[in-house]
Structure 1
Amino acid sequence: MSANNDTRTAPQEANAFLTRSARRAQIADEGAVLHLLGRFGLPMILVAVIVVFSLWQPDSFFSWINFNATFAQQAIIVMVALGAMIPLIVGEFDLSIGTNAGLAAILTVGLCQMQGLRPWPAIAIAVAVSGLVGLLNGLIVTRLKVNSFVATLGMATAIGGFGQLYTHQQDIPSAPTDLVAIGRAEVFNLPVTVIVALATAAVLAVALQLLPIGRQLLAVGANRRAAELTGIRPDLRIVTSFLVGGLVAGVGGALYGANLGAAGNQTGATLLLPAFAAAFLGSTTITPGRYNVLGTLVAVLLLAFTVSGLEQVGVQPWIESVVQGIALIAAVAFSSWAIRRRTLHLRNAQLALLRPTAPQKDEPTEHEGAIA
């Protein structure tokens, strides 16, 4: 009886083994496609946008003048987006980041124009004040246990009022020529603002990927309790993230004021939405589900070239706000979908290893799993 059973079950076992192997191969192929689309989907869209508008408007869009101007205009957005990204890594929001950068622009121009300071001391003071704002945000969140959304929204309102107090509710229409010369300087035909933004991005990328502080920030954002059990001090890392974010935004704001040669009280309000749109959209690419520097850069360029191309084909300037708002919503929605899809994929991979034959009626199918 035993020999007969072994003879009968051998082909079945072979078929079951082949079935499991085929399922594993299929799921692995699906996972590879999802992985490639998740990592490089946004850069591919960026390339497609550039190609389409270059063919559509070759004389105006596909030119170094347009690219150089776009890079220069987006340098401040890159800096503010990077500043917003750092607290997001640890799971906190800094809604004061745009107003903080605007305050740095006001102080840079105002200290030179109204107090007669030299450019570099004025820039240093402005960046230090922005760092102080970030530090206060971190302390309010960690010491007073105020939700970061509420704390930084209140801080944004407060420093906006201080900015108006400093300027007597008036815009500063001009800046000294030596300050403007710094803001509009070029190195190898690249604006200094672009070089500073790229250098800042490189430093942050290295710190987040290779240095202990970067790995600790990522650990706090992934699981704060688990990070604490490994010896990391979450509150200290949260304060650090707000401080660094404020400093980065301060550098961007100071250079923006120097480049513009003027400063207004509404500057910061226009920076918040594009910065967060870029940070959230960037988290859907390169390392999907994780805020990352390179993804943020790609997102900034995608939004910038999309708006630039649409404006050059005749769409009105209001399209910029529409694109940024839609991008923010789409980024959050896509990120949530990607997390659900990866969870379902892992679940199916585990089930494929357990099921010797076709799914039984009582086992969830992929469609049922997606609904669940």
Structure 2
Amino acid sequence: MAIQPSSPNDELGHGAATPSSRRQRTSVSTVVARQAVMILLVALSVGFSIAMPDTFASWGNFRVMVTSQTIVLFLAIAATFVLRAGEFDLSLGSVMAFTAVALGVLTEHGVNLTLSLVIVLLAGALIGLVNGVLVVRLRVNSFIATLGMLTVLSGATFALTGGRRADVYPAGLQDAVNKEILGLPALTYAGWLLVIVVWYVYEKAPVGRMLLFTGGNPEAARLSGIPVDRLKITSFLVAAVLSAVAGLLIAGYLGSVDPGIGSSYLMTPFAAAFLGATTIEVGRYNAFGTFVGLCLLTVGITGLQLMGGALWVSDVFNGAALIVAVVFGMAVGRARG
């Protein structure tokens, strides 16, 4: 026969959750939720290393992974500027491809490196400005506006070379991008430096907080005196310039660029950015979270491919990660609401 508690105090003593125990469980679950991506990254890294110690756990594979993800890292960080402002930019990969090919065409026609770099970066800034004006001033939905820009740039990129690869690039650029420092190309350190700089902007600089307020509640931000329209246009401009820099880096790294390369860099940056919003600072697009999210994608895809996975594994993994990240973000939003 069950013994019934004789008082509320007895009931608490027989296993009912106290406020402190509930807070403790909530705290643990919050920590796990904040670190879920990191935990999965460590688990996959350890698992693949045990399963394939001679391939996955080798220095050569590590070098390939960290180097190959740098271009995506630039695009993913670029995407966070627009996402943090509450908008969306699908044209980043096409900006990268356009500027990379444009640099090759300029070099082929004898334009010196310094002038070519200035022209290409100004072209990126102009593209971002146009995107910003379309979205902010003309009130075109950011998804539609940047999808249109993606299409325009894709056609323009092919038009620049007549469909052939751009393969004439300054030797100075290639030497600088591929210069080895402690066994890794300078390209890799550029990506890591970008993460640190953007982390500082987001977390320490007033503009980072204003971007966050703008994306969270633009009307309240306006009432607070924040220049919402200017910030949104600036976010598109910065994102496009960073994408143009990614174009310069990939041109120097590969030495030959296919005009259709932009399409292969469409979804992965956004998957990394959305995953980043589920870790480190849950619910916010942030620099270190984006970096961790991209590391998870890189480790997962590389490990599966080394185990014999087909080429389509990367698309499936990126798509699944994006869906999970968005669903998690919606759940966090509902919980906070």
Measured against the shorter chain, the TM-score band is over 0.9
Q: Give 1:86-235 correspondences, 5 Å limit.
A: 86-112=81-107, 114-235=108-229
What does residue 314 of structure 1 align with?
Answer: 308
Aligned partner of 2:249 in structure 1 is 255
TM-score, normalised to structure 2's length? 0.92
Structure 1 stretches of 5 or more lacking a match? 1-10, 344-372
Aligned to 2:267, the other structure's residue is in SS state helix
The CA distance in 2 between the partners of 1:177 and 1:237, in whole Å, is 37
Cα distance in 1, alignment partners of residues 243 and 258 from structure 2: 16
- Letter in structure 2 aligned against 1:99: S
Shift of 1:338: 2.8
- Looking at structure 2, the residues matched to 191 and 106 of structure 1 have their Cα atoms a distance apart, in angstroms, of 22
Q: Please state if 1:75 is matched with 2:70.
A: yes
2:313 & 2:8 partners in 1: Cα distance? 61
Give the Cα–Cα distance (whole angstroms) in 2 for the partners of residues 110 and 255 of structure 1: 16
The equivalent of 1:326 in structure 2 is 320
Give me the whole-angstrom Cα distance separating, in 1, the residues matched to 2:39 and 2:8. 44
Post-superposition shift, 1:311? 1.1
CA-to-aligned-CA distance 1:287-326 (integer Å, 9 cap, x gap): 1111111110011111111111111111122211111111
Shift of 1:174: 4.7
Q: Given the alignment of the two structures, is residue 49 of structure 1 paired with residue 54 of structure 2, yes or no?
A: no
| Distance in 1 of aligned mates of 2:112 and 2:301 | 37
**Displacement, 1:203?**
0.9
8 A contact 2:158–2:260 mirrored in 1: no
The SS at the match of 2:275 is helix
Counterpart amino acid of residue 110 in structure 2: G
1:306 and 1:17, CA in 2 relative to 1: closer, same or farther beyond 3 A? closer
Distance 1:100 1:33 in 2: 43
Q: Is the 8 A contact 2:12 2:18 kept in 1?
A: no
Partner of 1:59: 54
Alpha-carbon distance in 1 for matches of 2:194, 2:47: 30
Question: Match of 1:270?
Answer: 264
Query: Quick one: which amino acid aligns to residue 63 of structure 2?
Result: N
Q: Deviations over 1:64-102 (max 9, x none)?
A: 211111111000000001111110001100011110111
In the alignment, is the contact (CA less than 8 A) between 2:104 and 2:167 conserved in 1?
Answer: no
Aligned residues: 331
Check the 8 A contact 2:95/2:240 in 1, yes or no.
Answer: yes
Mapping of residues 231-242 of structure 1, within 5 Å: 231-242=225-236
Using the alignment, how far apart are the partners of 1:314 and 1:194 within structure 2? 27
Give unpaired runs (5+ residues) of structure 2.
Answer: 1-5
Change (3 A) 1:321 1:115: same
Alpha-carbon distance in structure 2 between the residues aligned to 1:84 and 1:241: 9
Does the 8 Å contact 1:38/1:286 carry over to 2? Answer: no
Preserved CA contact (<8 Å) 1:109 1:261: no
- TM-score under structure 1 length normalisation: 0.84
1:340 paired with 2:323, answer no
| 1:294 correspondence with 2:281 | no
Identical amino acids, percent of aligned pairs: 35
| Structure 2 Cα separation of the partners of residues 56 and 124 of structure 1 | 48
